[in-house]
Structure 1
């Protein structure tokens, strides 16, 4: 335990002792206002310590006293605190009720700064419900008040939330702008934890869009900003996110080191769902290292937590990941069971893209079980959906596996060749190895497409065509190697130059010669 943490813990203890003394005094004197204020203050400390259920009980007791009085400022504070406490517990309807209550009181007080804050808080409600356009509207309305009536810190916090909403709505450029503005303000006022939080969010946005060098820069800047601060939560999030960046760069050892360092920063305030996220990410790293049994153990831990808390999207991801490692372990029946559950969740929520991924993996497993007709059906259904969504990351794998089914199980070499060639076309449109949610490919790596196609062409006497695909494989291999070694991700200009050359239609078509 650091000296700073000891100081903070002792400060909380001293504050609690002080407010409990006030609470006792209020009981002796019959001062109900003092009692409500003490309960509210103890609730705030409880919430800071992550004891949200205790905080709700304390705030409700305070509210029952305060609502009978004319103390609008006190009622405003308690209502807002109840909103945040219920938000932390994931009870969004109750969150909305109390934030609206706080907003009405703030209007009675004509407190424009509080009005702005409550409007932004309602933005959190809409964000939690996935209603991002409404959230954006609330945050922008709040900012209009805050420019003249709020503090710079208020503005930065709301800009950060606005960035979150833009990110989730798919408006990347506006998200980047909002986060950058928040970072600038936090730096201006010397709020280092704020810098770290917004750097982490901006870095994750870059990461989601395959801009790994920018993601690393942002996250490392965030870590630097708190290098001399006691900020375990911010450091934990930055390290965990940076671990994902290295995972996407296929550097599993570095990713694991960062994730383990982040995991050690989990404390009593961390929720079970936080542990679920870490267990899932550990599973991804060990899967990349081909330590499939260890990966399975972590995925199972993550799955149990997510299922318990009825987190359907996260549960589906865990089921998919479990199916994939079971496939690698040769546990095909168990893998099939997990995939069927995954597909059921996708169908329940109409998650079309995720369902297609699951169908491809199901096709692989069915093929290994000798269920060739069912395997063909799964691949074909997935390909149709992935084509509609122009999902090249999924298509190259789905079409490749269909080709492998034709060649190895059905003996139709012509259809196999066509499928492999189609797979290459989709492969050439992909910049990185791994999709953003880490639904890994079902072959060793993407170069295996060429390893299957070239021998098949030679077998069919298409030597010239085979030679050109072999040359294309070398080009792709060189590009993948540069990604593996992190050369390109550290140099955006070099990355764009190499990619523009590599993916240019004339360059690709020059290698795809059809032999008469």
Structure 2
């Protein structure tokens, strides 16, 4: 969702939460316990037959393939590989490997927007993690379940789930888990519009996230912090937080956080009428979208340009960018966006 450059702080709340959730799912579902790439390093139960060992090797291979398919953006193939692996692990009684497979399936279901199946896979994985006393998996699975509950509007339940994750992480001294849990609890506070609490949680989360050296995690929390400052009307710290996120994301070629930070900065600079800086940032955004050959991001860039030109009263140029955005929306068969843009264009043509 592209930030509306004429948003008031109140209207920004809805944008803020949607952005939080979409970006969280992209990031948070990645570090669940061990990845498929190290499946062969996991401690399997010993098998007595060569047939059993062959089956396990086949399942491990399927899980590795599924992980690569997920990273390459093929969730349908990931699910097919994961389900095959899951069937084999079930037949040989490898419970821990079943848990790893459910984690992979959850990621792929989320990528397809199949949230019910993703939620089921996460909860099955959590049950296995509890049975096997795999505390690391419990931490990350509870965090992901918490984000589902938050997206569904079940804020108190989400908070309770994330508090459990934080307690486990603290007890087993899992720094990565503490940072993640605190950052997600910040989302809960922001959802409740308690921005001061959210800011404190994000700042605490950053302490742990910096210790891990995970720059993607740091940029994600800094963007969350920027969202909270923006919603509370503290534009100086808004720009500082998004700016820090942008610097880290650029250094590490972290495109999602880079785009998100730019969007936040454009909104903040526009609010304080620093239009020249906002245009500079949009130029960077469009160049990045072109570099990625991502038409969806190019569409968002055109829309943001149109809104900014409309904001400064340059209606001819605004119309031009709305028309370019409409063309892309049609190409992408995004009828909802097309209708919205046509409505904006109609209004601006009357001026």
TM range (shorter): 0.7 to 0.9
Instruction: Provide the C-alpha distance between the structure 1 equivalents of 2:144 and 2:221, rounded to a whole number of angstroms.
Output: 17
Match in the other structure for 1:485: none
Instruction: Provide the C-alpha distance between the structure 2 equivalents of 1:220 and 1:331, rounded to a whole number of angstroms.
Output: 40
Instruction: Provide the C-alpha distance between the structure 1 equivalents of 2:316 and 2:260, rounded to a whole number of angstroms.
Output: 26
Match in the other structure for 1:336: 279
Alpha carbon RMSD of aligned pairs, Å? Answer: 3.5
Instruction: Provide the C-alpha distance between the structure 2 equivalents of 1:381 and 1:245, rounded to a whole number of angstroms.
Output: 37
Instruction: Provide the C-alpha distance between the structure 2 equivalents of 1:359 and 1:133, rounded to a whole number of angstroms.
Output: 31
Match in the other structure for 2:177: 234
TM-score (norm 1): 0.52
The Cα offsets for residues 330-374 of structure 1, whole Å up to 9 and x where unpaired, read as 110110121122123334545444444433332232134332211
Query: Pick from 110, 115, 119: which aligns with 2:62?
Result: 119
Instruction: Provide the C-alpha distance between the structure 2 equivalents of 1:297 and 1:344, rounded to a whole number of angstroms.
Output: 23
Segment drifting more, 318-327 vs 221-230: 221-230
Match status 1:159 vs 2:123: no
Q: Residues 400 and 245 from structure 1, CA distance in 2 versus in 1: closer, same or farther, beyond 3 angstroms?
A: farther
Instruction: Provide the C-alpha distance between the structure 1 equivalents of 2:171 and 2:213, rounded to a whole number of angstroms.
Output: 23
TM-score (norm 2): 0.74
Instruction: Provide the C-alpha distance between the structure 1 equivalents of 2:205 and 2:66, rounded to a whole number of angstroms.
Output: 29
Structure 1 residue 233 displacement after superposition: 1.7
Question: Does the aligned pair in 2 maintain the 1:320–1:358 contact within 8 Å?
Answer: no
Match in the other structure for 2:334: 389
Instruction: Provide the C-alpha distance between the structure 1 equivalents of 2:195 and 2:322, rounded to a whole number of angstroms.
Output: 30
Match status 1:367 vs 2:310: yes
Match in the other structure for 2:5: none
Structure 1 residue 198 displacement after superposition: 1.0
Match in the other structure for 2:220: 277
Query: Pick from 138, 143, 161: which aligns with 1:195?
Result: 138
Match in the other structure for 1:325: 268
Instruction: Provide the C-alpha distance between the structure 1 equivalents of 2:156 and 2:73, rounded to a whole number of angstroms.
Output: 29
Structure 1 residue 288 displacement after superposition: 1.3
Match in the other structure for 2:77: 134
Segment drifting more, 158-167 vs 244-253: 244-253
Instruction: Provide the C-alpha distance between the structure 1 equivalents of 2:118 and 2:221, rounded to a whole number of angstroms.
Output: 25
Question: Does the aligned pair in 1 maintain the 2:216–2:254 contact within 8 Å?
Answer: no
Instruction: Provide the C-alpha distance between the structure 2 equivalents of 1:395 and 1:210, rounded to a whole number of angstroms.
Output: 27
Structure 1 residue 396 displacement after superposition: 6.4
Instruction: Provide the C-alpha distance between the structure 1 equivalents of 2:66 and 2:168, rounded to a whole number of angstroms.
Output: 28
The Cα offsets for residues 154-202 of structure 1, whole Å up to 9 and x where unpaired, read as 2112212211111112221111110111112222333333222111122
Question: Does the aligned pair in 2 maintain the 1:283–1:295 contact within 8 Å?
Answer: yes
Instruction: Provide the C-alpha distance between the structure 2 equivalents of 1:391 and 1:210, rounded to a whole number of angstroms.
Output: 23
Q: Residues 398 and 272 from structure 1, CA distance in 2 versus in 1: closer, same or farther, beyond 3 angstroms?
A: farther
**What aligned pairs does 1:20-419 form with structure 2 within 5 A after superposition?**
84=38, 110-208=53-151, 212-226=155-169, 228-349=171-292, 351-382=294-325, 389-391=334-336, 399=343, 403=347, 405=348, 410=351
Match in the other structure for 1:462: none
Structure 1 residue 295 displacement after superposition: 1.4
Match in the other structure for 2:22: none
Instruction: Provide the C-alpha distance between the structure 1 equivalents of 2:336 and 2:145, rounded to a whole number of angstroms.
Output: 25
Question: Does the aligned pair in 1 maintain the 2:216–2:257 contact within 8 Å?
Answer: no
Structure 1 residue 237 displacement after superposition: 1.2
The Cα offsets for residues 370-403 of structure 1, whole Å up to 9 and x where unpaired, read as 32211233345446766853547x9769956974
Structure 1, unaligned runs of 5 or more: 1-79, 88-97, 99-106, 411-516
Instruction: Provide the C-alpha distance between the structure 1 equivalents of 2:226 and 2:339, rounded to a whole number of angstroms.
Output: 25
Structure 1 residue 303 displacement after superposition: 1.5
Match in the other structure for 1:500: none
Instruction: Provide the C-alpha distance between the structure 2 equivalents of 1:249 and 1:179, rounded to a whole number of angstroms.
Output: 25
For residue 264 of structure 1, give the secondary structure of its aligned residue in structure 2.
helix
For residue 161 of structure 1, give the secondary structure of its aligned residue in structure 2.
helix
Match in the other structure for 1:94: none
Structure 2, unaligned runs of 5 or more: 1-33, 42-49
Structure 1 residue 118 displacement after superposition: 3.8
Question: Does the aligned pair in 2 maintain the 1:293–1:329 contact within 8 Å?
Answer: no
Q: Residues 267 and 249 from structure 1, CA distance in 2 versus in 1: closer, same or farther, beyond 3 angstroms?
A: same
